[in-house]
Amino acid sequence: MQDLSAFPPIQLQYLKSFVEEHSKNIEKTIFEADYNSNMKDQAQKYEKLLIKYISLLSEFEPEKAADECSKDFYPINDCLVEVKKKKNKLAEAVLVRRKTDADSLLKSIQIYCSVID
């Protein structure tokens, strides 16, 4: 990956292929790392790749970044930092929605409705 850092579009294509091909294993590893300490190192490596992937998608394919951010295995806070840097509001909204529990979401809708009344 370091060799490709000078070529972001090529880096994006590489990461896209990698994530598509390995998404099930990435998801499984990230979720199981909470219960299996042997998987933590690999999960952290996958998370770094996912964050880089979201950053590149936000720059070159913003709509695709929002789709990817809706997947549960993408780290919310780290991806949120990247999409804000790239000013990708749609991906930011998706991540914030994932971050918010249903009660908070309902309460925010109720507050919004009371303001517009």
| CA distances in angstroms from 101 to 19, 50, 52, 72, 79, listed in the order given | 27, 23, 26, 14, 18
At residue 46, the pLDDT reads 98
pLDDT-based confidence at residue 110 (cuts at 50, 70, 90): low
pLDDT at res. 21: 98
Give the pLDDT score at 112.
43
5/7: higher pLDDT: 7
Which pTM does this prediction carry?
0.82
Chain segment 48-85, per-residue pLDDT in tens: 999 999 999 999 999 999 999 999 999 999 999 999 99
The total number of structural domains in the chain stands at 1
Q: Percentage of the chain surpassing pLDDT 70?
A: 85
Q: Residue 53 is part of which domain span?
A: 2-116
